[in-house]
């Protein structure tokens, strides 16, 4: 008894039995094919709603939500892994690492696009580092194309670095000099038109 | 059992992890993580684990989906294993569903095994289905009013 349990800490005893025998995740067992229904484009709130504040007593049977800080030592950075494919729009107020596939626009702050990643759409950001493929457009203050980058489309930038080996097909436009509000489309409000002085009275 | 092992061991703190930092699968397929500042609208498809701490509106297909506290998913979810600690509004199709304390769930949860922790907030139906239902789930059923 003690021999087998020597590695267990007392707290480990009530290990969650919440994991019944189940088909192995990595097997290519029949997986439900998702229908490609993209919901109607409605503006999304960017901030996730905060959960209710009350804290119920934790039950020993329910394992705590895994902490996301220990994975590879990286602290809570958003990662789109290579197994993930997104069809739609992505918006982020924090740095993001993309290794998967995205069909749609990406709006971020610091955007790193990994070597095997593929983005079809426009990538907006303050700093975009591309090592993978973009078919579309980049609009970013700072752009770095590494040696493995493959960029098809225009790049709007303030500051760009292209390493040897990068493939670029498109125009480079050194714009974005105005403050930092460029990535977002300009406010649709028309300039204050001369107020109709001819208002009939 | 690699994937399973990874999932269970990832929940432990590193100190409790047995052996020399085992977890071989972890390096190969790190889970995708969508942080609190990330919002996605559209369809997500992943052959692995997805952790949502941000906002997703749309359809998610994954092997394992974790909606972390603070995360919000609006739409349908198809997976083998779903853990909800955040907020979900929509339908879930998964053989194994675990709703943690503090979670807020609204909609339908099609499941075979279901765990609801004390303190979870659940509003909706939870139809049981045999495992075979999920294996043959090609098209999601229509939403009936």
pLDDT, tens digit, for every residue of A148-160? Answer: 999 999 999 999 9
Question: Does A136 fall in a domain?
Answer: yes
So what's the pLDDT on residue A176?
Answer: 62
ipTM for the complex shown: 0.76
Query: B120 and B101 in contact (C-beta within 8 Å)?
Result: yes
Grade residue A177 by pLDDT with cuts at 50, 70 and 90. low
Is A73 at the interface with chain B, CB within 8 A? Answer: no
So what's the pLDDT on residue A194?
Answer: 42
Tell me what the pLDDT averaged over chain A comes to: 69
Rounded Cα gap, residues B69 and B144, in angstroms? 29
Question: Does A61 fall in a domain?
Answer: no
B23, B42, B69, B93, best to mutate vs chain A, most A CBs in 10 Å? B42
Q: Give me the mean pLDDT over the B89-104 stretch.
A: 96
Question: Does A148 fall in a domain?
Answer: yes
Nearest CB neighbour to A70, from listed B14, B75, B139? B14
Q: Give the closest residue to A160 by CA, choosing from A178, A179, A146, A180.
A: A146
Tell me what the pLDDT averaged over chain B comes to: 82
Grade residue A57 by pLDDT with cuts at 50, 70 and 90. very low
Question: Does A40 fall in a domain?
Answer: no
The count of other CB atoms within 10 Å of the CB of residue A169 is: 10
Set of chain B residues whose Cβ sits within 8 Å of the Cβ of A65: 66, 68-69, 83, 85, 100
Set of chain A residues whose Cβ sits within 8 Å of the Cβ of B36: 48, 94
Helix residue ranges per DSSP H, chain A? 2-5
Question: Does A93 fall in a domain?
Answer: yes
Rounded Cα gap, residues B109 and A121, in angstroms? 34
User: Greater confidence, B57 or A28?
Assistant: B57
Instruction: Locate B6 and state its tokens.
Output: 């990874």
Nearest CB neighbour to A34, from listed B25, B37, B61? B61
Q: Give me the mean pLDDT over the B69-98 stretch.
A: 96
Question: Does A158 fall in a domain?
Answer: yes
Residue of B nearest to A15 (CA): B8
Q: What are phi and psi of B18, to 5 degrees?
A: -80, 150
Question: Does A142 fall in a domain?
Answer: yes
Set of chain B residues whose Cβ sits within 8 Å of the Cβ of A39: 41, 57-59, 75
Question: Does A42 fall in a domain?
Answer: no
| Interfacial A residues in 77-136 facing B (CB < 8 Å) | 77-81, 83-94, 96, 100, 104
List CB contacts of A45: < 8 A, sequence separation 6 or more: B39, B55
Rounded Cα gap, residues A167 and A161, in angstroms? 13
Rounded Cα gap, residues B48 and B66, in angstroms? 11
Instruction: Locate A51 and state its tokens.
Output: 């959960």
What is residue B111's DSSP assignment?
Answer: B
Asked if B51 lies within 8 A of A68 by C-beta distance, the reply is yes
When mean pLDDT is compared over A61-75, A76-90, B9-23, the highest value belongs to: A76-90
Query: What is the residue range of A146's domain?
Result: 75-178
Q: Which residues of A117-152 are buried (b: 16+ CB within 10 A; e: fewer)?
A: bbbbbbbbbbbbbbbbbbebbbbbbbbbbbebbbbe
Q: Give me the mean pLDDT over the A6-28 stretch.
A: 45
Q: Give the closest residue to A166 by CA, choosing from A132, A124, A122.
A: A132
Residue of A nearest to B139 (CA): A35
Rounded Cα gap, residues B105 and B89, in angstroms? 6
Q: Which residues pair with A78 in a beta bridge?
A: A96
Instruction: Locate A99 and state its tokens.
Output: 């290794």
Set of chain B residues whose Cβ sits within 8 Å of the Cβ of A111: none
Tokens 């119920």 locate to A56
So what's the pLDDT on residue B107?
Answer: 95
So what's the pLDDT on residue B145?
Answer: 58
So what's the pLDDT on residue A178?
Answer: 56
Set of chain B residues whose Cβ sits within 8 Å of the Cβ of A7: 18
Domain count, chain A: 1
Q: Give me the mean pLDDT over the A124-131 stretch.
A: 95
């Amino acid at each position: 008894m003690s021999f087998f349990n020597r590695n267990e800490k007392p707290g480990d005893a009530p290990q969650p039995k919440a994991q019944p025998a189940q088909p192995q995740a990595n097997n290519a067992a029949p997986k439900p094919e998702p229908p490609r229904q993209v919901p109607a484009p409605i503006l999304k709130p960017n901030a996730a709603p905060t959960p209710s504040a009350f804290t119920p007593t934790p039950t020993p049977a329910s394992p705590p939500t895994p902490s996301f800080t220990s994975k590879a030592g990286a602290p809570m950075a958003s990662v789109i892994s290579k197994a993930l494919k997104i069809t739609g729009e992505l918006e982020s107020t924090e740095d993001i690492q993309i290794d998967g596939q995205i069909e749609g626009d990406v709006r971020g702050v610091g955007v790193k696009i990994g070597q095997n990643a593929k983005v079809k759409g426009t990538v907006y950001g303050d700093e975009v580092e591309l090592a993978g493929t973009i078919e579309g457009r980049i609009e970013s203050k700072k752009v770095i194309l590494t040696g493995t980058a493959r960029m098809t489309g225009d790049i709007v930038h303030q500051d760009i670095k292209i390493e040897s080996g990068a493939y670029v097909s498109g125009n480079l436009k050194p714009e974005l000099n105005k403050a930092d509000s460029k990535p977002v489309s300009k406010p649709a409000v028309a300039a204050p038109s001369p107020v109709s002085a001819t208002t009939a009275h | 059992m690699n994937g399973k092992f990874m999932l269970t061991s990832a929940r432990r703190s590193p100190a409790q992890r047995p052996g020399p930092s085992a977890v071989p699968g972890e390096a190969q397929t790190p889970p995708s993580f969508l942080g609190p500042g990330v919002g996605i609208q559209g369809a997500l498809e992943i052959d692995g684990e997805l952790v949502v701490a941000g906002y997703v509106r749309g359809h998610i297909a994954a092997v394992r989906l974790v909606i972390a506290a603070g995360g919000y998913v609006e739409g349908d979810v198809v997976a083998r294993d779903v853990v909800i600690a955040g907020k979900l509004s929509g339908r879930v199709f998964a053989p194994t569903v675990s709703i943690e304390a503090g979670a807020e769930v609204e909609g339908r949860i099609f499941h075979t095994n279901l765990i609801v922790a004390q303190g979870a907030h659940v509003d909706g139906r939870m139809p049981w289905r045999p495992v075979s239902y999920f294996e043959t789930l090609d098209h999601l059923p229509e939403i009936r009013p």
